[in-house]
Amino acid sequence: MEKRELVIIGAGPAGLTAAIYGKRSGLDVLVLEKGIPGGQINVTDEIENWTGVIHASGAELADTFRKHAEHFKAEFRETEVKAITVDGGRKVIHTDGDDIEAEAVIIATGASFKKLGAPGEKELTGRGVSYCAVCDGAFFEDQEIAVIGGGNTAVEEAVYLTQFASKVTIIHRRDSFRADRLAIDRAMSNPKIEVIWNTVVEEIVGEDMVEKLVLKNVRT
């Protein structure tokens, strides 16, 4: 079985940073990634809170992170980790390829999109329901788009979507956003954005594509 000193699972910002530290400490580092190195920032339109970089697209920043880790000769492998077994000090990583034994494992598998859990969501995913504005926004040119949520991602993505949509409606279950002030100001001053407060989506309705949302005001 292949034996490595340090195996890092996930090549998002955390995994790539760990790879840089591992290599600089003189370790043999293997990074396992099931998708594209960079993780969630690959689907981020603009990043302006990374110190030292005033503005970059997520993909640009992901590219610099990956190049930084490659500069220190971290090895990358495209594979999905299915399980890890620990037997005493022995750690075996089971991938969709061969198993790998590692002296140390860093799990940096990040996060995945949070589902709404509303009826119709699963059936209409890819048919009007999307979790990534950068990936899918352009498919909805001149259409009305609803963004559900009230944090930074929802508010920033709503602004991003105004370049395609005829109108963007943010549906938020509370009466104020949790997003950064700057992001809120940009959204609230955008004439294409409307906000429906204190409201949740009860159902997503449509035959082949999303046609309408059934909303419920949580206050009335």
Ligand X SMILES: Cc1cc2nc3c(=O)[nH]c(=O)nc-3n(C[C@H](O)[C@H](O)[C@H](O)COP(=O)(O)OP(=O)(O)OC[C@H]3O[C@@H](n4cnc5c(N)ncnc54)[C@H](O)[C@@H]3O)c2cc1C
Active-site residue flag, 96: no
- For residue 194, the tally of other CB atoms under 10 A from its CB is 14
Nearer to ligand X among residue 33 and residue 201 (C-beta):
33
| Residue tagged active-site, from 28, 45, 63, 132 | 132
Q: Which residues have a Cβ under 8 Å from the Cβ of 132 and sit 6 or more positions away?
A: 43, 113
Pick the stretch among 11-19, 65-73, 117-125, 204-212 that binds ligand X (CB under 6 A).
Answer: 11-19
d(CA 155, CA 145): 13
**Minimum distance from residue 208 beta carbon to ligand X (Å):** 26
| Candidate list 130, 153, 162, 169; residue touching ligand X; CB under 6 A | 153
Q: 122 with 131: CB under 8 angstroms? A: no
Supply the minimum distance, in Å, between the C-beta of residue 7 and ligand X: 11
Handedness of CA 177, 179, 182, 183 (dihedral sign): negative
Using DSSP, state whether 203 is helix, strand or coil.
Answer: strand
Q: List residues with catalytic annotation.
A: 132, 135-136
**Footprint on this chain of ligand X (rule: CB under 6 A):** 9-15, 32-35, 39-41, 43-44, 47, 49, 80-81, 108-111, 153
